Structure 1
Amino acid sequence: MVANSSMAENWTQFRGANTDGTAADAKLPGEIAEDKNLAWKIEVPGKGWSSPVTWGNEIWLTTATPEGDEMFVLSYDATSGKQLKNIKVFENDVTRFCHPTNSFASPTPVIEDGRIYVHFGSYGTACLNTKTGEKIWERRDLECNHWRGPGSSPIVDGDNLIVSYDGFDVQYVVAFNKDTGKTEWKQDRNIDYGTDNGDRKKAYGTGQVVEFDGRRQVVLPSAVETISYDPASGKELWRVRHGGMNAAARPLFGNGLIYIAAGSGERSLIAVRPDGNGDISDSHVEWGSSKSVPRRPSQILIGERLFMISDQGVASCLDAVSGEIVWQKRVGSGGEIRSSPVMAGGLIYSFGVEGEVVVFAASDEFELVSQSKLEDGFQASPAIHDNALIVRGVRHLYRFESK
């Protein structure tokens, strides 16, 4: 039977429809291996670290040539893995430097019924019809030198598509009208970075929309500071200074707090009350932590527990209200981790750069469920489709489900 959007829980953006990497009711296998619970595995052309998104029975992702001169969006049948669409979105005569650990197709798309919004940083943003593949609108006029490549994913709120451009040379936030591509508002970051070194001004973060005490806001991390804006008008609401650079994790909201991972620095993870105005650095930070905080992978929030796994493979469980460490444990063989974990059925799944897969329980005591190694390596964060795990490797796309 072919699933449709009413039958399947769509994974619509970076970290899923819930924006937090969770699909609590999904039933995923506890063991992931090339010879266990693998439904299919297919090669994916090009190079891209964007996460898969799903709508109905279709999986979508972006890719690009390694040199960045051509950029594409691809779709696959979720049941069989058959490629359905291969659409060239942009061609580039000139590209800037992209670090080998990044790609020209790292931002994750956003998908809605009939539309997908793809973003390649300053190389272009476009809205496509998912049925015909036709381009509804595009924007290629926003300047930003990402220097090491783009990374921030777009988000949709109401009629706006909101994107951060935190580059080497300029840093700003833009809201496009999602129907027309017209600029609804644009705000410069206006952050005192304390340096003229553009490399320390860059960030790769994705925003989080929050409703708190009747006030809607979009919280957008950058280097040194995180800023909250009114998503309709772009008016700045508050900012918090945490230091650090290269922020990549998506903020989480729960327990009346925003959890922000700064990427580096003494306050590399902070919990902030989002009801302030202006500079709230000294008034609204409930707690901060720097021990084994990931630079790239986002966290998982389940009630009053915050789970995370560092780039070096140290898994942690924190009390999300106080910031106190409940447990910490090195998992796997110590290989690097860049993708964000996902959680389903009380289990957390983490995929490493060298192909290592670690599954552990989301509980107050550390419990390793399984550990394995796949043939591919992983930079992109997984998606959950129905009761299946969709994982993009460097060269392949996998579907795992219980057999």
Structure 2
Amino acid sequence: MNIIDAAVRTAFVAVWFVGSWTTEVTADWPSWRGADDHGSVAEGTYPVVLNEAAIQWRSPLPGKGCSTPILYNGNLYVTAPLDGKDGILSIDSSGAQRWITSFSTEVSGKHRNGSGCNASPVTDGETVFAYFKSGTFAAVALDGTQRWTTNLVERFGEDKRFWDHGTSPVLTQDNVVVARMHAGDSWLAAFDKETGELVWKVDRNYDVPKECDQCYTTPLVIKHSGREAILVWGAEHLTIHDASDGKEIWSCGDFNPEGNMLWPAIATPVIVDDVAVICFGRNDRGVPRLHGIRLDGSGDVTESNHVWFRDDIGTFVPTPAVHDGRVYIVRDKGEVECIDPATGETIWSDRLPKNRANYYASPLIAGGKLYAAREDGVVFVVGINDSHFELLSENDFDEPVIGSLIPGADRLFVRGEKHLFCLAATDEAKRQEARP
């Protein structure tokens, strides 16, 4: 189905409503993959068919961006360029724009699916933090007031990744943390959330084959040995750093013993219990790698903490999702794998309809359904459990979808290249789902 018809494409409206907004959105999604970094939410009733009847509103965006929105206290925050400048935009629960705050000149993307605002914002409930390809690193209050800004390219040098940055900032108790892993001096740095002042900055440099030092992953804030820590994947190493000073307290290597070149790290790890699942290799070129790494111990654990390894499945760009203790991988061409993270064994595998287009967005699991967005704007809805895969619907948004979908309170938000969509299950669908 084609969600944006010709009449809507020619209409001059700021926001177009279908149906009515009946409940206030209260569920929060404060960062790219949600509060627990799993890309999933267990509770809620979410739409199965993403058609006109399901659309609550569509709100136009001021420019091309590929980041994922975040949601806090019913309001959405998303990065997008405005008149050639980096910007953070806020949209309320009715689809109306609350405010937009712009900064320095945007640096546009190189890749067809890239932009100057690939990285997703993050919020602690008081401030929204965002990082842009231009180097602008900014903090704004929830009313759009700028709190502080700095430029990390001007301070620490040019970003030398081949493609557009994608690493999102993350929050510890006191700081906002950014990683840059590229073909140059690589580092992990923490900035005071209140002032933007640099708290610590540590080097993260490794001698690896060409392009393997270039990384687009997002760090994860975890607990390690009872203290707050930051897990970082990239440059063929998984490391854990003390959140208070950035000191490396744990490391694991040996992810590319053959010395393959042109293997950047793109998919962010997921953690289930004490095992990190690492997607590496070049699944897009038929050379996947998948690793299970135990996160206990300290120091260099390379020899002891590789739990399992597979060279037949993996993903290059989309980050997996976690649901009910299982890891769900949507591969770059639409193959779907459900695996046991403790053993790496496949529980089931299937695939979405074949197409030349790839998957760049990371999958969302909401209310027991998996949502997978293809780069051409087709979004699939899949019923999942421990034993099977059931394709429930195929929906065309008629514009590219690169950012990941996010859930609200019984709402689904889809960031297209031109619009932000809000969808909900119809009343009839809710009645059918409630039947025993």
Common fold: TM-score over 0.5: yes
Please give the residue correspondences for 1:344-383 in structure 2 after superposition, counting only pairs within 5 Å.
Answer: 344-364=366-386, 365-383=388-406
Provide the C-alpha distance between the structure 2 equivalents of 1:160 and 1:394, rounded to a whole number of angstroms: 31
Aligned to 1:337: 359
TM superposition score normalised by structure 2: 0.84
Q: 1:134 aligns with which of 123, 145, 150?
A: 145
Deviation at 1:150, TM superposition (A): 1.4
SS at match of 2:156: coil
Letter in 2 for 1:81: G
Q: 208-217 vs 39-48, which deviates more?
A: 208-217
Provide the C-alpha distance between the structure 2 equivalents of 1:337 and 1:148, rounded to a whole number of angstroms: 17
Provide the C-alpha distance between the structure 2 equivalents of 1:160 and 1:400, rounded to a whole number of angstroms: 34
Matched-pair identity in %: 26
Please give the residue correspondences for 1:29-108 in structure 2 after superposition, counting only pairs within 5 Å.
Answer: 29-33=47-51, 35-64=52-81, 69-78=84-93, 80-91=94-105, 95=107, 98-108=110-120
Q: 1:269 aligns with which of 271, 290, 294?
A: 290
CA deviation string 1:297-350 (max 9, x = no partner)? 111122342111101100111122111112221212333110011111111111
Q: Does 1:185 align with 2:200?
A: yes
SS at match of 1:339: coil
Q: Does 1:162 align with 2:177?
A: yes
Q: Write out the 4+ residue segments of structure 1 that deviate beyond 3 Å after TM superposition.
A: 1-4, 263-267
8 A Cα contact 2:293 2:306, kept in partner:
yes
Provide the C-alpha distance between the structure 1 equivalents of 2:302 and 2:150, rounded to a whole number of angstroms: 35
Deviation at 1:263, TM superposition (A): 5.2
Provide the C-alpha distance between the structure 1 equivalents of 2:302 and 2:233, rounded to a whole number of angstroms: 14
Deviation at 1:2, TM superposition (A): 9.5
8 A Cα contact 1:50 1:107, kept in partner:
yes
Change (3 A) 1:124 1:142: farther
TM superposition score normalised by structure 1: 0.91
Give unpaired runs (5+ residues) of structure 2.
1-20, 257-261, 427-436
Q: Which has the higher helix share?
A: 2
8 A Cα contact 1:121 1:152, kept in partner:
no
Alpha-carbon RMSD: 2.2
Change (3 A) 1:121 1:96: closer
Change (3 A) 1:358 1:97: closer
Q: 2:330 aligns with which of 309, 316, 321?
A: 309
Determine which structure has more spread, i.e. the larger CA radius of gyration.
2
SS at match of 1:262: strand
Change (3 A) 1:65 1:8: closer
Equivalenced residues, count:
391
Q: 1:232 aligns with which of 220, 244, 252?
A: 244
Q: Does 1:257 align with 2:271?
A: no
Q: 2:412 aligns with which of 386, 389, 403?
A: 389
Letter in 2 for 1:87: T
Deviation at 1:245, TM superposition (A): 3.1
Aligned to 2:231: 219
Change (3 A) 1:97 1:254: closer
Deviation at 1:215, TM superposition (A): 4.0
Give unpaired runs (5+ residues) of structure 1.
none
8 A Cα contact 2:212 2:265, kept in partner:
no
Deviation at 1:71, TM superposition (A): 0.6
Provide the C-alpha distance between the structure 2 equivalents of 1:342 and 1:12, rounded to a whole number of angstroms: 15
Q: 160-169 vs 255-264, which deviates more?
A: 255-264
Deviation at 1:267, TM superposition (A): 7.0
